[in-house]
Structure 1
Amino acid sequence: MNTGKRDGEQQGRAGIGRRQFLTGAAATAAVLTVGCGSSGSEGSGPSSTARATTSTVPKPVHVPELSGDPFTLGVASGDPRTDAVVLWTRLAPEPVAEDGSGGMPDAKADVTWELATDAAFTELVGTGVFTTSPAHAHSVHIDATGLEPGRDHHYRFRYADWTSPVGRTRTLPEGSPKAFGIGVVNCQMYESGYFGAYQHLAEEDLDVVVHLGDYIYEYPAGLGPRAVVPNKVLKTLEDYRIRYAHYKRDEQLQAAHARFPFVLTWDDHEVSNNYMGDVLVGNDDPALGQARKAAAYRAWWEHQPTRLDPPKGSVEAVYQAFAAGDLLRLHLLDERQDAAIPPCRDTAQSGTDYGNCDARVDEDRTRLGTDQEMWLKGSLEEGGVTWNLLGNPVVLAGVDGGSDAAAYYLDTWDGFPQARKRLIAQLAEVSNPVVLTGDYHAGMVLDVQAEPFDASSKVVAPEFMSPPISSILFPADVSKRTPQLRQQLNDHGYLTVAVTPERVTVAFRVLDDVMDPKTAISTGATWVVDAGDPVARPA
């Protein structure tokens, strides 16, 4: 097994392409393997030793004294592949310290990590030491490679006398799996409700969880019963670090992360409400807006189990695809970083995101950016799978909230109808497309049609919108001018997506009461998509 240990101060490797990077290790510093082992020394080459002994395990060198348990933010795993997965934690004995440090000293700190095929850690397949640094908030990103496909693994971290909670993760299957389970989550405003949905999610039978964004919200307190820190609009790196730590110390969120690998993209609130590209609503000074975005991106990277290199202003590419054998490929999009300036509104003002204007239908407007559009085209054309799932942060099929005149929600694909037409044309050419969506603070089932809002137009794919984890619901009935809407559920919760060669079954798992941390959950609706038929049917 080849496992990577990435020094927390390493800034990444220049000139490496996204596809090559995703198949390689995320770290190039000290390496230790157990099993198919390589060396236990920094920079040395492969070893013929079948199993490393304890004497080959690197010893922590940087161990500054801490004020308490450093593992207050739990553990997480993410970006699984058939032979690899990323392991994450962040040292933070005082998670919401006002300087954003998490209570860590301004010094390096060495963390020991362990990966095993059993929960008792008697069958280790990897271990090593990772050097964290204040430059990256003492976060840990381990890319463990050389693993067996479709298998559970258990992991943990150690620092001095402390041991983290144990996490379970799973590699992707290869070949022809008979089933694959996906959880879909989004929109988790801390102050507007509890994360009881995550406690229930942790009890589901899933292979991976897809997060479609709005992991945090940038607002001050006052929008619900739970307090948030810092109590202000987030603008600096320290602000965003504190807010992520505030969220991450929630035990119900930690339970879900410790149970499943997550694959994450972002939406707008990781930075600022309804921002696109370099335009942040409420930021009249572009330079200040760009600095705020860079801070937000960096804090996102520091707190997520992602294989990406640390960002330098922008992020290389949040979008990605993963496959579960020949059963499915999921294409996960970034619909913010390279999007064109929003149409039909004063870009420095909020609250003007509904409407219609000539600029909306400009042929040159892009939601994804040129590079991502080209990548998605190639990813969809790879073929070789029964199902093509699209992880799409904002609604694709269209939602018209108007009563008489059109009131398109311009922050969605309705603000980019020509780019949407290009995407839908691509979906029409691939096998069994299914769109998974978030953002709208409601659960919905919609038909993605060749001509949106035309009831007679051909259905290309079904779209399933996940309910929010906890964010304030948008209960307005949009059915009057949205003929493609099949069902709307005004509930909190998440989706479970069960994929087999014959069908995709989507269950809307909905909470009784988001204000009750121990709330019950039930299935509000179940829909089925049969292979070869793009029209979803109620189960």
Structure 2
Amino acid sequence: MDYRSFEQLLHSRIKRRNLIIGVGAFTGLAIANQFSHQQAIAKSRFSNYPFTLGVASGEPDPTSVVIWTRLAPEPLNGGGMPPVNVPIHWEVASDRNMKRIVSRGTVIATPQLAHSVRVVVEGLQSDTWYWYRFNVGQDVSPIGRTRTAPFANSYLSKLNFALVSCQNYQQGYYTAYKYLAKDDLDLVVHVGDYIYEGGISASAVRQHNSPEILTLEDYRNRHALYKTDANLQAAHAAFPWIVTWDDHEVENNYANATSEVDNEPDQDPQVFLQRRAVAYQAYYEHMPLRPFSKPVGPDMQLFRRLDFGKLATFHVLDTRQYRTDQPCGDGTKERCPENLDPQATITGKAQEDWLYKGLNSSQAKWNVLAQQVIVAQIDRTVGEGGTYSMDKWDGYVASRDRLMRFLEQRKPSNPVVLTGDVHSNWAMNLKADFNNPESTIVGSEFVCTSISSGGDGADTSPAIEAYLPENPHIKFYNGQRGYVRCSLTPTTWKTDYLVLSNVTTPSGTISKRASFVVEDGRPGIQQV
């Protein structure tokens, strides 16, 4: 597919209307065999082109990958689908023109999942590009491209991926995705704040579609609004994605079963858990996740591991669902007794044990911790004292101390933490003891800026530059928008910070702001 004409293709297909679908359009032995025990599919009429939200793929392993779409002829109006089951045909090919079909089938889109579908396409070749599409009757989706992973014990000479986060629709255009979709990448890693839950801002660059979202329909419509962006659709269609969430997929700075925003209607934990349940369901409905992540009420399995040959293992974390309440409130404050509580946790014990077990047994050259909030200590004062952000790992000192101690003592191969959340770029060394400049470097952390959150931003910040000398492990800061490109080989990890001139207009241009490398077996970040 020519991604440069993606937006024109989408708009032309949205103009198509009044397609009648029904069982008669889906005759054949394959359908009969797969759905002989299903109830008859009622006829329905689409009010518009049904694939308005594009296609996506994710969760690659050596023999399978997830492909996704959602029928939504009226995406901002609950999807605009009748409350009936609808069969969707899918195809996977080994060529971009979809001539060499290697797998095909039919999946049922149900009202219970907002007519979203995910197909785990099995039996594929490892480390191979594929193309895929969906169709309902004569309506055909855009063509997406995806790639399987190599086998865990195989040699892989290189892996290129993009790190992204924080895409507030109201605060800027998704220009970064336009450039990302054309980059030489194997996958995209999104570490949270895919949507924002807030209401309509009168001063927004482009506005949200409703007041603050609370119900399942609200969350579905908000996800749909974000997914109507042509640049985001192009990035999803170009590469498989690995995703995890942060807070705004539900509510700002929430912790476990607790709402963290004052004067909200969900301060009662039971009410908040109901809100969390519908937010988790909408997230699952709109992401190319495997079925094991399907939520059960307010609980959803999101931490998981993905291998890419002997080169890299991604340990994908969830630092939001299981954390205890932020100590001393959730702002930037001085230390307090709760901040040092050994029972306080940002991951929960089960996930922490799972992480250590995986790191301890990993055979990968690079161990990647894809997660949400900054791990490294950041003292935000100038001179004596110390203030720290309680919503980050700085608010959970015992959790971080255990992780740093594990990295120092067990020495898993080349640990690199990937982070989002703060709408700015950072490159930092991880230290066994952040209060001792001579302490051992145990790993590296690369923080990506936002796609759009925070507006245009600026290269530097006088307030942040003032306290950087108090944090010698911080090697780089930048406050512009963009994405981070990571290029891995068996000997070197290279990180490029790609930044945009602006996001408050659609015409922003991109440039490389800085590059850093980490060498195999040599912890610590070096600027190129």
Amino acid at match of 1:459: I
Whether contact under 8 Å (1:511, 1:520) holds in the other structure is: yes
Query: For each residue in 1:116-142, what CA deviation from the matched residue of structure 2 results, as whole angstroms up to 9, or x when unmatched?
Result: 111222211111111111111100110
Q: Give the counterpart of 1:126 among 100, 103, 106.
A: 103
Equivalent residue for 1:397?
376
TM-score, normalization: structure 2?
0.88
Q: Rate the CA distance shift 1:457–1:40 in 2: closer, same or farther, 3 A.
A: farther
> Counterparts in 2 of 1:447-486, with a 5 A limit?
447-472=429-454, 473=457, 475=461, 476-477=463-464, 478-486=467-475
**Pair 1:511 & 2:495 matched:** no
Change (3 A) 1:111 1:224: farther
User: In the alignment, is the contact (CA less than 8 A) between 1:191 and 1:223 conserved in 2?
Assistant: no
Aligned partners of 2:406, 2:164: CA distance in 1, in Å?
25
The Cα of 1:480 is off from its aligned counterpart by: 4.3
1:41 is paired with a residue of what secondary structure? Answer: helix
Distance in 2 between residues matched to 1:491 and 1:227, nearest whole Å = 19
In structure 2, which of residues 419, 439, 443 is the aligned counterpart of residue 437 of structure 1? Answer: 419
Deviation of 1:228 (Å)? 3.3
Query: Are 2:391 and 1:411 aligned?
Result: yes
1:43 is displaced (CA, Å) by 8.3
Counterpart position of 2:138: 161
Q: Give the equivalent residue in structure 1 for 2:164.
A: 185
Q: How much does 1:234 deviate?
A: 1.4
Q: Deviations over 1:308-350 (max 9, x none)?
A: 34212233420111111111111110000011111112xxxx7
Contact 2:426 2:478 survives alignment (8 Å): yes
One-letter amino acid matched to 2:165: N
- Cα distance change of structure 1 residues 498 and 252 upon mapping to structure 2, 3 Å threshold: same
User: Is the partner of 1:490 in helix, strand or coil?
Assistant: strand
Match status 1:382 vs 2:374: no
Q: Using the alignment, how far apart are the partners of 1:226 and 1:63 within structure 2?
A: 41
Q: Does 1:273 align with 2:215?
A: no
Structure-2 separation of matches of 1:254 and 1:238: 21
Partner residue, 2:125? 148
**Tell me, what secondary structure is at the counterpart of 2:326?**
coil
Equivalent AA in structure 1 for residue 385 of structure 2: A
Find the residue that maps to 1:254 and give its secondary structure.
Answer: helix
Instruction: Indicate the residue corresponding to 1:325 in structure 2.
Output: 309
Assess if the C-alpha contact under 8 Å between 1:437 and 1:463 holds in 2.
yes
Asked if the contact 2:162/2:189 (under 8 Å) is kept, the reply is yes
**Residues 122 and 62 (structure 1), Cα distance of their counterparts in 2 relative to 1, 3 Å cut:** farther
Q: What amino acid is aligned across from residue 68 of structure 1 in structure 2?
A: N
Conserved? CA contact 2:195–2:248, under 8 Å? yes
Deviates more, 1:255-264 or 1:483-492: 483-492
Q: 1:436-459 deviations in whole A, cap 9, x for unaligned?
A: 111111100111101124322211
Contact 2:88–2:109, Cα closer than 8 Å, also in 1: yes
Q: Is the 2:170–2:208 Cα contact (8 Å) retained in structure 1?
A: no
Letter of the 1:321 partner, please give it: R
- Answer with 457-466 or 278-287: which moved more: 278-287
Cα pair 2:219 2:279 within 8 Å, conserved = yes
What is the deviation of 1:193?
A: 0.5
The structure 1 residue matched to 2:34, chosen from 33, 37, 42, is: 42
Could you tell me how far apart the structure 2 residues matched to 1:226 and 1:411 are? 28
Look up the SS of the partner of 1:92 in the other structure: coil
CA distance in structure 2 between the aligned counterparts of 1:173 and 1:135, rounded to whole angstroms? 35
Q: Which amino acid aligns with 2:321?
A: Q
CA contact (8 A) 2:484 2:498 kept: yes
Judge conservation of contact 2:41–2:84 (CA < 8 Å) in 1. Answer: no
Secondary structure in 1 matching 2:499: strand
1:294 aligns with 2:277: yes
1:368 and 1:63 mapped to 2: Cα distance?
47
Native 8 Å contact 1:192 1:223 kept in 2: no
Summarize the Cα distance change of 1:208–1:422 in structure 2 as closer, same or farther, 3 Å threshold.
Answer: same
Q: CA deviation at 1:402?
A: 2.4
Matches within 5 A, 1:4-403: 41-42=33-34, 61-97=41-77, 101-174=78-151, 175-222=154-201, 225-282=204-261, 283-309=266-292, 310-345=294-329, 352-403=331-382
Taking the aligned partners of 2:207 and 2:118, their CA distance within structure 1 comes to 26
Tell me the equivalent position of 2:21: none
- Alpha-carbon distance change, 109 to 43 in structure 1, aligned in 2, over 3 angstroms: closer
The answer to whether the Cα contact below 8 Å between 2:424 and 2:479 also exists between their aligned partners in 1 is yes
> Is this contact kept in 1: 2:54–2:141, CA < 8 A?
yes
Q: CA deviation at 1:40?
A: 7.6
Secondary structure of residue in 2 paired with 1:302: helix
Report deviation, 1:212: 0.3
Per the normalisation by structure 1, the TM-score is 0.86
One-letter amino acid matched to 1:232: P
Paired residue type of 1:169: T
Structure 1 residues 486, 204: closer, same or farther in 2, change over 3 A?
Answer: same
C-alpha change, 1:387 and 1:133, in structure 2 (3 Å) is same
> Secondary structure at 2:376's aligned position in 1?
coil
Comparing both structures, which one devotes a greater share of its residues to helix?
2
3-state SS of 2:472 partner: coil
| 1:121 maps to amino acid | M
**1:102 is matched by which residue type in structure 2?**
G
Distance (whole Å) between structure 2 residues aligned to residue 289 and residue 92 of structure 1? 28
In structure 2, the residue corresponding to 1:242 is in which secondary structure?
A: helix
Match of 2:23 in 1: none
Deviation at 1:63, TM superposition (A): 4.8
In structure 2, distance between residues paired with 1:538 and 1:486: 8
Which stretch shows the higher mean deviation, 119-128 or 238-247? Answer: 119-128
d(CA) in 2 for partners of 1:149, 1:485: 38
Percent of aligned pairs with the same residue?
38
| CA deviation string 1:76-135 (max 9, x = no partner) | 0011111110000110001001xxx21111111111111111122221111111111111
How many Å separate the matches in 2 of 1:140 and 1:400?
Answer: 45
- 2:400 matched to 1:420? yes
Q: Distance in 2 between matches of 1:354 and 1:494?
A: 29
Q: Determine the C-alpha separation between the residues in 1 that align with 2:427 and 2:220.
A: 35
Q: Deviations over 1:399-424 (max 9, x none)?
A: 22223532110100001111111112
**Amino acid of the residue matched to residue 447 of structure 1?**
N
Which residue identity is paired with 1:240?
Answer: Y
For residue 531 of structure 1, the aligned residue among 508, 512, 520 is 520
Contact 1:117 1:123 in 2 (8 A): yes
Unaligned runs of 5+ in 1: 1-37, 45-57
Q: Matched residues in 1 for 2:362 and 2:486: separation?
A: 21
- Alignment correspondent of 1:489: 478
Aligned length: 481
Deviation at 1:492, TM superposition (A): 0.4
Inter-partner Cα distance in structure 2 for 1:194 and 1:426: 41
Seen in structure 2, the aligned counterparts of structure 1 residues 63 and 485 have a Cα distance that, compared at 3 Å, is farther
Give me the whole-angstrom Cα distance separating, in 1, the residues matched to 2:207 and 2:392. Answer: 28
